[in-house]
Every structure is written in C-alpha cells, then in structure tokens.
Chain A
C-alpha cells in the first residue's frame, strides 16, 4: 500500500516538473519576443541570427586585440559589445570582466574597477573577478580603514555573495521541492522513523528555503539599487556642501568605491567606507 503511494507521488512530481518546464520555456520565449524590436513580423529568425553572429564577432575581435596587446582597440570593441547588449536589455559578467581587464592593462584604474564591480554584481561567486578586483583595489591611492562591521554581518554577506539572485532563487526552489517531499513522506509513509526524520528535515529545509529566498531578493535589490559608485578622476574633491566654493573636507582618488546617499542637482552626497560623508560633483564618479 505505502510503496504504491510513493511511486504515485514521484510520478506526479515528475509530471509537475514537466509542466513547469514547458510553461517556463513558453514564458521565457515570450519575453524574448517582447525584447525584440517592433519590426519582427518579417524575417524574424534571420535578423536574430545576424545580430547574434555580429555580437560574438565583436567579442572575439576584442579578445584578439587584447591578446595582441592592443588594449585601446580592445576597449573600444568590448564597449561596443556592452552597449549593444544594453540596447537589447541584457548584460554579461564575462563581458564586463574582460572590459575591466582591458582597462587595467591600459592603466585606466577607475574604469577597470568600475567594470570589475559590475561583473561582480552579475556573478558574485566568480573567483577570477574577485581576484582581479582585489588586485586592482590594491593599486588605488586611497587606503580607507573600513568602519568595523560585526563579524556575523560580514559572514552572512560573504555567504550571500557566493551566488547571484537567480542562483539563490533556484536553490530556494530546490529546497522547497525537497521540503514538499519530506512533507509527503511525513503524511503518507507509515514507518515511524521515516516520519520522524521527514519531520525534522522538513523544518530545516523550510528554514533554509526562507534564507535562500531572502538572499535572492536581497541580491536582486543590490543590483537594482545603483547606489554605489567609483571615483573616475585622478583626484576628486569632496566638499562640505553641494557648492564649488564650500570647504573641501577630503579628497578621493581614482578607483575608490563610494556609497551615494542623496543627490542635489549635479552633486552627489557620498559616503566612504570609514563613514565620512561629503558632496562631490557628478562628473567625478560613475555609478556601478
């Protein structure tokens, strides 16, 4: 009796997964169609094809220029690939990473760090991006002692930054499915130890699912927030108020990361890692 039930449940699950898969494909397909330009009724697949090859061609050409140490050309091509992607509402961590490398080789530290940060937002778990960003940060002029964060907060942040929003969402769903499975075991299986195990695993899985979901939403918010910026100029004056004539509080140098608190006209109120706050002109920084 019970064996039959488990079989029955698993078949049902598989069926459910299939239906989801199909609906997923459908929805993603429709999204793509939405993103395409309006003139889609004619020659749609052909146009798509051409665009694709053109883009990968750009990417390849840029990588080749980088290999030949023609970094200026490489930057140009990567930037073009990025702007084309943005036009189509899509971005790539690899593209930003490679662009950052080209900028770094061309000694444009600020731009390099900006692009590494952008890449890291898209793929927070990538060790290459982390390494290069850390390496580039070591080259910056400013040494700011970070105001002490709690160990626990740092730890949670580092765990959260292992994956991107989408990966966390997938993990949460897998955890949810496992949770449902353990609920099913608890409900339908008559064996006592199996029910006990299922009960406790269920609780743990549910907690983890909640955490994974919160991480996922948090990562999404981080990406959409756009409240961090990188100093782009060699030396950026930070003033007491949004006014050229006001007192200069301190000076920031190329590549330093700042947090934007508010803006006033062409000025941003920025906060640096040690908690100091001041106003700087918008041309001095670029939002990640």
Chain B
C-alpha cells in the first residue's frame, strides 16, 4: 500500500518535472541565435578556429565562400546543455557548436560572409566576420628559443613581453578628450598577474572606459613580430591645462611561463619543460602636447570642447507671481560634457533665482563623453508685470572646425499676473530691499566740453577785484550824496522857519489892502493862508497835512500855552465862519486883522524862547 502510493507520487513528480522542462524549452525555442566567431587577426600559415554557435538543433549548415583559407578540418560538432535555477526560476540553454579549423593562405584582410542554417524549416543567417591575416613571424622561433637556451636559466626579454601606452591623439586641444590604452604585448603564455601600478594622470580629468574582464587575446603585428595583445586599461583623458604634459610610466609585475631549454621524455615523446618567470613590465612615458584654445573666445564660452547641440525648454511663459518658472537646457553631444560650466541665464533682477540643478546621462566613448547634460534653472517671480529673459548663449569650441561656435536660445517674454494674496504673505518680510550698488563706471559726458584756462583764475584777477571795488565805491558815493542832501533839506526847513514870520506879515499886509478895498472874501482867505502857511513853515508840516488838531498837538508839544492856542483856534474859526457869512462889519474885520497880527507876533516870541 505504502509503496504503491509512493510510486504514484514519483510519477506525478516526474510528469510535473518533464512538463516544466518542456515548457521552458518551448519558451527559449522562440529565439534562435546563430553566431560566427573567429579571432580578429591571425598569422599566415597558422591554424585558427572558425566556429558557429547555434542555440537549437539545426540542419544543413552552408558555409560561405572560404576560398582565401584552407579548411584543414571540420566541421566538428559539439553540443552543450545547461540548466540553472535562480530564485525558483529554471532556465536552460543548449547550444550546438560547429567548428572548422582553417589556415590563411595569404596576408591581408578578408571577410568571411554569413553562413546559413535551417532550424525547423526556417533559414537563419550568421553574422559576417572580418579577419586580418598577418605575415608570419620570421624569427619568432629563434629569438624565443635562443633567449632561453643561451643563458641556461629562463628569462623574458623586453621584446617578448612589454606594455605600450597608446595615445589616440598626441597634440589635442585643451579640454579635448582623447584615449590612452595600456596594451600588453606578449609572445609567451601568461601565468599570473602581480602588482599593477598604472601611472597617475596629473593635469587631466580622467574617465575610465570599461574593458571586458575576460577578453580574448588578439594577434597584432608590431615591429615585425606577431604578438598576442590584450588591453589592460583604457581611459579617456581631458587635459586641463595647455603645454607639455607627461604621462609617467606605470609598472606591472607578471609571471610568464617560459621554455626552460631542458626537455624530458614522456610517454608522448620529448617535451620541453616550462618555467614560471617573474618579469616587471614598465610602460613608456608619453608626452602630450596640449594646444591652448584660440584666444578669441566669446564671453559666453562655457569651457566646452567638442560638438554640441542645445535644446531649450521652458515650462510656461504665462503664470502668476510666486509660481515657479523652470527653464531646462539640454546640451547633447560629444566632448567634455562633465566640465561644461552652466550657461548664464539672466533672469529679471527681482526674480528669486535658485541654483541650477544638473543631471548627466553620459556614456564614455573613445571620442569623449557622449550623452545629454540637462541643466534646469528655477526662478520664482515675486511681482507681476511683463519681463523678458534675454537669449541664453552657450559657446563651445568645435573640434571639427577648430573654431568657436555659439548656440543661442530664443528670447522668452514672460507675463506675470498678480499672485495669490495668500502666498504673498510668505515673502512680505523681504519687501524692504537694498538697492544694488552701482557695479560699473558711469558713461561718458556728452555734449561740448567746457574749457577752463590753465593758468588764469577768476579769483585774484583784475575783474574779480573790480567786482568788489566798484559796488563798494558806488555805495560810498551814494552815502555821501544822501548825507549832503539830508543836510540841505535840513537847511531848507531852517530857512523856512526863519522866514515864516516875514511871509505871514507879507500876507497880512495883502489882507490889509483887501480890507481897505472892502474885498471881504479875499481878506479872510488871505488871513487864513497867512496862518496856515505860518504854521506849516514853523512846524515843518506840509500844508496839505495840516489840521487844527495836529496844530494843537504840535504846539502843545513845543510848550505853547493853551490860551495862545485857543486864540489862534478862535481866529481860524472866525475866519472860516465869516468867509461864508452874508455881511460883516468893517470893525469886525479890523479886529480879526489886529488879533492875528498880535497872535503871530506873540507866537514868534514864544517859539524863540522855547528853542
């Protein structure tokens, strides 16, 4: 019972397993690969293998025309099957290899065309190959063997194994990329690598180029001998300064297997014994002549050397304040991509500008770094308005034409609308800004220049002194004139004062005449004129300004008694009244005349006394 059950279980498992395997095979059947391989270079007269690898069972292999080669043997078929399980997933591979052994008849470069094979009725073609046939090594057998046998102990001569530093360009421009390859040349078998010390590349920016870890040894002819070669290291260098730069030598310790010169007899016949020999290989120092870039570099030169294109991209040109603008520049091409400095984007000065972010998507090739460098500029406008971002210039040195080239973007005009009121508050604290200090000299003075005399100055000149002297003299003259006049005026007043009495008496005499002629009106007029005129002269007050009031005041100031003043006032009143009164006796007129006469006489005496 138990056994039966167990057996059934096994069957189930087996079926399951087979189903699994067939399923997997079915999957891999979908892709058929048919690949030809052969060494890239061979020596004339020596055998080499040409093999075709097919991952299916195939039939009817048809070879291309191989008339340049002799087929020594083939095809020998070998089949391999491999299966592996990774993380529970099982994959299996199978391959059939058809191998031919060929010998090249003549030197030169030959192409082996594609071979064809049919798999399940479908025809598949292989890739074609290029094979370089090198001339045979004339003295290879003697030298390698002679070196060994003559000394007895085995050594490796410098011709048997060495390393060359191969430079793709000996006089590049500054910043122009070129490759240095360290290639091992050997005619011997390599047993082991020891310490490897490659030189330092001082004055260069270094980019490593990946070298396959397990590479086939290539045949190469150098100095008349055929060597097996392998690239140990390949680097891309960008010189950072002009002038002569030396790449120093590196060292490499290696163990070779060398024929010892002794032989032992074995079952298969006499065989030479091989000895392991240590050898330190030193690379040759290389002098690189770096040419400086031409001097007429444009202002926007971004330290870029190579060939480039630029693609600008702005996210928006119409936005609101406090929203972000991002301007992306995609620089693609080949050259010193990593060393390109960012082109300058001149955002309007009141934008908040952030440092650009740079992303590189680059591949290392022997021509330099190839790929895309994306530079993204971020800025945030803080105020609304219309702004422009001027064209961004990116200049580089074109290696192909040996000249500077400038790429420009278009000019962007931005329309910034008013921002959200809420977002403004965040930037409110910066609204007091320092005005930037002038950063350059001011421009020329335009217009006709004003000239000054070198040796003649206004100050101290005759002209200058005249400006002082003439007004001063004028003022003095004016003062003197004024003084004199004042004195004369004073004299006139005195004179009139003295003559006042006489004039008054003269007028009274005239009044007396009118009295006798019975001309009443004229008489009173003349008396009034005599009194008014007298006071005008005595008190130095113009007649027009006289009134009874100010006469009274002036007289009492001069110390005249009230009784005398009232007498005058009475005369004045009488005269003024009588002038227009209808009739008046002669006696009345006579008394007025006498009164006036006496009053003026008395006044004269009083005034003289008071003076």
User: Residues of A at under 8 Å CB distance from B?
Assistant: 5, 8-9, 12-13, 16, 19-20, 23-24, 27-28, 31, 35, 56, 59, 63, 66, 85-86, 89-95, 97-98, 101, 104, 122, 128, 131-132, 135-136, 164-166, 168-170, 172-173, 176-177, 180, 183-184, 187-188, 213, 216-217, 220, 223
A-B contact pairs, 23 of them (CB 8 A): A5-B482, A20-B466, A24-B463, A35-B453, A86-B454, A90-B451, A90-B454, A91-B451, A93-B450, A93-B452, A94-B447, A101-B444, A132-B441, A135-B441, A165-B458, A168-B459, A169-B464, A173-B468, A177-B471, A183-B475, A184-B475, A220-B457, A220-B459
Complex: A213 Cα to B462 Cα, angstroms: 15
Shortest Cβ gap from A129 to chain B (Å) = 9
B269: which A residues are within 8 A, CB to CB? none
Shortest Cβ gap from B448 to chain A (Å) = 6
Shortest Cβ gap from B16 to chain A (Å) = 87
**B445 and A128 within 8 A (CB):** yes
Contact flag A132-B463 (CB < 8 Å), given A92-B452, A166-B458: no
A136: which B residues are within 8 A, CB to CB? 441
In the A-B complex, the 5 residue pairs with the smallest Cβ-Cβ separation, listed nearest first, are A92-B449, A169-B459, A94-B449, A90-B451, A94-B445
**B459 and A166 within 8 A (CB):** yes
Besides A93-B450, A173-B468, 14 new A-B residue pairs in contact (Cβ under 8 A), listed by A number = A8-B478, A23-B463, A85-B451, A90-B451, A101-B441, A131-B438, A132-B441, A135-B441, A165-B457, A166-B459, A173-B464, A187-B482, A220-B457, A220-B459
Interface set, chain B 419-478, CB cutoff 8 A to A: 438, 440-464, 466-468, 470-472, 474-475, 478
Interface of B is mostly: loop
**A187 and B479 within 8 A (CB):** yes
**B441 and A90 within 8 A (CB):** no
A95: which B residues are within 8 A, CB to CB? 449
B457: which A residues are within 8 A, CB to CB? 165-166, 169, 220, 223
Nearest A residue (CB) for B473: A16
Contact flag A184-B445 (CB < 8 Å), given A90-B451, A131-B438: no
In-complex Cβ contact of A104 among B441, B468, B471 (8 A): B441
Shortest Cβ gap from B376 to chain A (Å) = 34
Complex: A19 Cα to B474 Cα, angstroms: 12
Nearest B residue (CB) for A136: B441
Complex: A96 Cα to B452 Cα, angstroms: 12
**A216 and B482 within 8 A (CB):** no
Interface set, chain B 161-194, CB cutoff 8 A to A: none
A98: which B residues are within 8 A, CB to CB? 444-445
In-complex Cβ contact of A20 among B438, B442, B470 (8 A): B470
**A20 and B467 within 8 A (CB):** yes
B466-499: CB near A (< 8 Å → 1, else 0) gives: 1110111011001100100000000000000000
**A19 and B470 within 8 A (CB):** yes
**A169 and B442 within 8 A (CB):** no
Shortest Cβ gap from A12 to chain B (Å) = 6
User: Residues of B at under 8 Å CB distance from A?
Assistant: 438, 440-464, 466-468, 470-472, 474-475, 478-479, 482
Complex: A280 Cα to B59 Cα, angstroms: 101
**B459 and A90 within 8 A (CB):** no
A27: which B residues are within 8 A, CB to CB? 461-463
B456: which A residues are within 8 A, CB to CB? 31, 89
B448: which A residues are within 8 A, CB to CB? 56, 59
A63: which B residues are within 8 A, CB to CB? 444, 446
**B482 and A188 within 8 A (CB):** yes
**B454 and A92 within 8 A (CB):** no
Shortest Cβ gap from A178 to chain B (Å) = 11
A86: which B residues are within 8 A, CB to CB? 454
Shortest Cβ gap from B139 to chain A (Å) = 66
Complex: A213 Cα to B464 Cα, angstroms: 11
In-complex Cβ contact of B475 among A92, A93, A180 (8 A): A180
**B467 and A176 within 8 A (CB):** yes
**B482 and A135 within 8 A (CB):** no
Shortest Cβ gap from B272 to chain A (Å) = 76
Most central of B447, B459, B462, B466 by chain A CB within 10 Å? B459
A20: which B residues are within 8 A, CB to CB? 466-467, 470
**A122 and B441 within 8 A (CB):** no
**B474 and A16 within 8 A (CB):** yes
B444: which A residues are within 8 A, CB to CB? 63, 66, 97-98, 101
A168: which B residues are within 8 A, CB to CB? 459
Complex: A20 Cα to B475 Cα, angstroms: 15
Shortest Cβ gap from B440 to chain A (Å) = 7
Nearest A residue (CB) for B443: A101
Shortest Cβ gap from A64 to chain B (Å) = 10
B464: which A residues are within 8 A, CB to CB? 169, 173
Contact flag A92-B450 (CB < 8 Å), given A12-B474, A165-B458, A168-B459: yes
Complex: A230 Cα to B36 Cα, angstroms: 83
**A89 and B470 within 8 A (CB):** no
In-complex Cβ contact of A132 among B442, B462, B470, B474 (8 A): B442
B447: which A residues are within 8 A, CB to CB? 94
In-complex Cβ contact of B459 among A28, A93, A128, A165 (8 A): A165
A180: which B residues are within 8 A, CB to CB? 471-472, 475
Nearest A residue (CB) for B446: A63
Contact flag A131-B458 (CB < 8 Å), given A23-B466, A92-B449: no
**B454 and A213 within 8 A (CB):** no
**B460 and A59 within 8 A (CB):** no
Shortest Cβ gap from A10 to chain B (Å) = 11
Contact flag A176-B468 (CB < 8 Å), given A101-B441, A169-B459: yes
Complex: A234 Cα to B454 Cα, angstroms: 30
**B440 and A135 within 8 A (CB):** yes
**B445 and A89 within 8 A (CB):** no
Complex: A70 Cα to B458 Cα, angstroms: 38
**A13 and B452 within 8 A (CB):** no
Complex: A223 Cα to B449 Cα, angstroms: 19
Complex: A12 Cα to B474 Cα, angstroms: 8
Shortest Cβ gap from B462 to chain A (Å) = 6
Shortest Cβ gap from A95 to chain B (Å) = 5
Shortest Cβ gap from A159 to chain B (Å) = 17
Complex: A217 Cα to B457 Cα, angstroms: 9
Shortest Cβ gap from A132 to chain B (Å) = 4
Nearest B residue (CB) for A35: B453
Complex: A93 Cα to B458 Cα, angstroms: 17
**A131 and B446 within 8 A (CB):** no
Most central of B440, B458, B478 by chain A CB within 10 Å? B458
Shortest Cβ gap from B218 to chain A (Å) = 57
Shortest Cβ gap from A25 to chain B (Å) = 10
